[in-house]
Structure 1
Amino acid sequence: MAAHRKPRQRSLGGHTVRTAATLALAGAAGATAFEGAGIAAPQATPAQVKAKVDKLYQEAEAATEKYNGAQEKATATERRLKGLQDEAARRELRLNTTREALGNMAAAQYRGGGLDPAMQLFLSDDPDAYLDGAAFAERAGDRQSGAVARVREQVREVEQLRGAARVELTSLKKRQAELRRHKKTIIGKLGAARDLLSRLTARDRAEFDDKETGGGTGPRASRGSTGARDALPAVGSATAKAPNSRAAEAVSYAYSKLGSPYVWGATGPNAFDCSGLVLASYRSAGVALPRTTYAQIDAGRRVSRSELRPGDLVFFYSGITHVGIYVGDGKMIHAPNPSAPVRVAPLDEMPFAGATRVV
């Protein structure tokens, strides 16, 4: 019978420990290198950063315009609802007055005695007069009943309209909440983009800033830079070429707001979004415009790019999500995005979608 010897346990010291440690460290290093290779992204170029930020800005502005439109509809619905409530209150007051009159009539009839009409006719000193009076009372009662029925029907109609308005308002508020959540998501993406910008080298950041400002049409240019490419048409020249005095006034207002900050949903006087700047500029000239870009494009006569004159509204992107005010020489004044104030920019900065002459 063969002897079974117990295997000798090796000491975990010396060469064995060093070998195990070396292998463990090598494995850990290899795993780290592999994982790093799997998650590490190459450094984004300024052009890539700009493309991502521009996309985020466009998405945020599209959401803002939808939000502005929903808010406008909600305001109109609330106004309509108040009108319905006021009308219902007036009709209910008339109904109560009618009910009170009917109650008084019923009480008088009761006090006059609950005699059978045939017996009253038999006892009457003037049967002909009684019959005439009874017929009149019946007709009056019919008219009164008809009036009450009509008022009640009107109240029911008002209540139905009020209910419909409440449903519509609830729907719009839900839509606004969804848009606010969407905007919150966009703002989160913008925060990530800002974080990405902060990691650029000083040289790359300078290149990004140059691309962001269009080579000199950004915030610095909005205050009167003298560069050939970013020269802003003089306000006097722009207003002189406007098609009429109201367009000239709108252009003048836009010039006065250069450098104002971009704020979601703002319509002035100290901050604006893109359609808010257009709204405020024409409001200063006594012209009421719709709130949103996709409604503003239909607020006047469409003109071609070759026909543009100062004061015309110029629109961008296929969804009509951005707008500016043309000031001449192929340039506009607009409220770009949260990273740039109201400024002058070339029309070629974004995909041109159309133009409208308001007045």
Structure 2
Amino acid sequence: MASHRRGKPVGPSVLSRAAITVAAATAAMLSAPGGADALPGPSGGSGAGAGSSGGPGSPEDVRRQVDALYAQAEAAGQRADSAQEQEAALLRRAALLQQQLAEEQQRANAVAARLGALASAEYQRGGGMDPVVQLMFSAHPEEYLSRAASLDQADASTAAELGRLRSYERELEQGRAEALDQYAELEQLRRSIATGKAEAQRRLGRARALLGSLTAGQRDQLQQQEDAAAQLAAQAAGTPLPIGEGPASARAMLALAAARSAVGLPYVYGATGPGAFDCSGLMYWAWRHGGVALPRTSQEQAFAGRRVPLSQARPGDLVIYYGDMHHVGMYAGNGMIIHAPYPGARVRYESVRDMPAVAVVRV
């Protein structure tokens, strides 16, 4: 395998994402340089905007604050996505449990009907009631059993029927208790989903207000930085890959092709395509084209395959970012990733070093 070329990051930091108008306020990640083992990319400029002092109230200061808010919003969104996945799994288990309970109830009803018919027949014959049937109708069966000399008096088949009924009743009782537990868990998950979404909206609202404190000229300056970085990244991503540095498998090649086809589509929280994505939703959708069903969230995707060093990343590999693993992109080669950056932005290429990578996963 040819060695990766060493170079500087492409364009300004991906966290220079406050380049948006107030009407289209969006979400991004915490600003940080790439970590050790970073992959090279073609040479480019620094992340600082020209003419920005970086002091309090400056465009650079606003950008840093907005980036932090956007990172927090995305983390909250991933937590909400994870809770939604758990909710869906719990609903599937609850539906199965309800079906099992219904079947147990039918069996119990059938046994009770047979025993009821037996009791009626015994009464009509005037021969008294079978001791086992008496036990069935006793409000305190334990007391009856303590008084009974022996169940040998009872017809064996009747005793067997009664035993089945008691067994079904115990299973129904346990099933109903489990259903109540599942209902409580479901309510907790729904509260978690609502909390995560509300937190994300609060962070985005604060970011929107901060962007509103900039002048139109300052916002234009940030937008120009954003556009320049995107153009450089797209050019770098379009460079032919060195021999031996293509996708590690045919499945990865298909996933990469799908991710490339999504460039330009919008980021939407919770979306998994085909017309919009969040960061992990894009990976989920792209790898489905490779015949692989990834987990839904970036935190789960971090454990969906074999870990490899960042210096050995191949196109199609997942690159997980930040200590809480709330962001993910797909390595595209030449030091670039494809990812869905934040709400309001579109799927695009970025330098792999523009955020702190914590893991690379080969699916």
Q: Normalising TM by the smaller chain, what interval?
A: 0.7 to 0.9
C-alpha change, 1:82 and 1:92, in structure 2 (3 Å) is: same
Taking the aligned partners of 1:233 and 1:285, their CA distance within structure 2 comes to 21
User: What number of residue pairs does the alignment pair up?
Assistant: 289
Q: Could you say if the C-alpha distance between residues 210 and 349 of structure 1 is closer, same or farther in structure 2, counting changes exceeding 3 Å? A: farther
- Do residues 347 (structure 1) and 328 (structure 2) align? no
TM-score between both structures, scaled by the size of structure 2: 0.74
1:1-359 aligned at under 5 Å gives the runs 44-114=57-127, 138-197=155-214, 199-200=215-216, 202=217, 204-213=218-227, 215-217=228-230, 220=231, 224=234, 226=235, 231-233=236-238, 241-358=246-363
2: distance between equivalents of 1:245 and 1:188?
Answer: 43
Task: For residues 30-53 of structure 1, give each alpha carbon's deviation from its aligned partner in whole angstroms, at most 9, with x where no partner exists.
Answer: xxxxxxxxxxxx872222122122
Contact 2:307-2:362 at 8 Å conserved across structures: yes
Offset, 1:258: 0.4
Change (3 A) 1:235 1:153: farther
What's 1:27 paired with? none
Letter in 1 for 2:280: S
Instruction: Give the 3 Å change call, closer, same or farther, for CA 323–196 of structure 1 in structure 2.
Output: same
Paired with 2:339 and 2:96, the residues of 1 have a C-alpha distance of: 37
The residue identity in structure 1 corresponding to 2:108 is: L
- 2:62 and 2:340 map into 1 onto residues whose CA distance is 21
- Work out which of the two has the higher radius of gyration on C-alpha atoms and give 1 or 2: 1
The CA distance in 1 between the partners of 2:226 and 2:178, in whole Å, is 51
Per mean C-alpha deviation after superposition, the further-off stretch among 150-159 and 235-244 is 235-244
Which has the larger helix fraction? 1
Letter in 1 for 2:300: A
Task: Tell me: higher relative CO, structure 1 or 2? Use CA pairs within 8 A at least 6 residues apart.
Answer: 2
How far residue 206 of structure 1 moved from its aligned partner, in angstroms, is 4.0
Tell me the SS of whatever aligns to 2:332. Answer: strand
Q: Alpha carbons of 1:115 and 1:142: their partners in 2 closer, same or farther (altered >3 Å)?
A: closer
On the 8 A contact 2:62/2:211 being kept in 1, the answer is no
Query: What do residues 162-202 of structure 1 show as CA deviations (whole Å, max 9, x unaligned)?
Result: 011001001111111211221221121122133134x25x2
User: Aligned letter for 1:334?
Assistant: H
| Amino acid of the structure 1 residue aligned with 2:310 | R
CA distance in 2, matches of 1:116, 1:154: 28
- What CA deviation, in whole Å up to 9, does each residue of 1:220-265 have, x standing for no partner? 567x5x4xxxx22358889981011111100000000000001111
CA-to-partner distance for each residue in 1:125-163, whole Å, 9 max, x for gaps? Answer: xxxxxxxxx969621121111101100011011101101
Deviation, 1:60, is 0.8
CA distance in 2, matches of 1:49, 1:116: 87
Contact 1:238 1:328 in 2 (8 A): no
Closer/same/farther in 2, CA of residues 46 and 140 from structure 1, 3 Å limit: same
Given residue 111 of structure 2, which amino acid in structure 1 is its aligned partner? Answer: T
Following the alignment from structure 1 to structure 2, what is the Cα–Cα distance between the partners of residues 235 and 268? Answer: 27
The alpha-carbon distance between structure 1 residues 104 and 233, as it changes in their structure 2 partners (threshold 3 A), is: same
Which secondary structure state, in structure 1, belongs to the residue aligned with residue 269 of structure 2? coil
TM-fit CA distance, 1:315? 1.1
Please give the alpha-carbon distance, in whole angstroms, between the structure 2 residues aligned to 1:236 and 1:250.
16
Whole-angstrom CA distance in 2 between matches of 1:135 and 1:52: 82
Q: Secondary structure at the match of 1:98?
A: helix
SS of the equivalent of 1:248 reads: helix
Aligned-residue identity in percent: 35
State the alpha-carbon separation in 2 of the partners of residues 136 and 241 from structure 1. 81
Q: 1:116 to 1:162 in 2, by over 3 A?
A: closer
For the aligned residues, what is the CA RMSD?
A: 2.4
- Please tell me whether the aligned partners of residues 239 and 334 of structure 2 are also in contact (alpha carbons under 8 angstroms): no
Secondary structure in structure 1 of the residue aligned to 2:60: helix
What amino acid maps onto 1:273 in structure 2?
D
1:288-312 Cα distance to aligned partner (Å, 9 max, x none) = 1111111100010111111100000
Are 1:240 and 1:248, in contact at CA under 8 Å, matched by a contact in 2?
A: no
Q: Work out the CA distance in 2 between the residues paired with 1:172 and 1:237.
A: 47
CA distance in 1, matches of 2:316, 2:244: 8
| Structure 1 residue runs without a partner (length 5+) | 1-41, 118-133
- Going from structure 1 to structure 2, the CA distance change for 1:342 and 1:137 (only over 3 Å counts) comes to same
For residue 4 of structure 1, what is the aligned residue in structure 2?
none
Alpha-carbon distance between aligned partners in 1 of 2:289 and 2:240, rounded to the nearest angstrom: 16
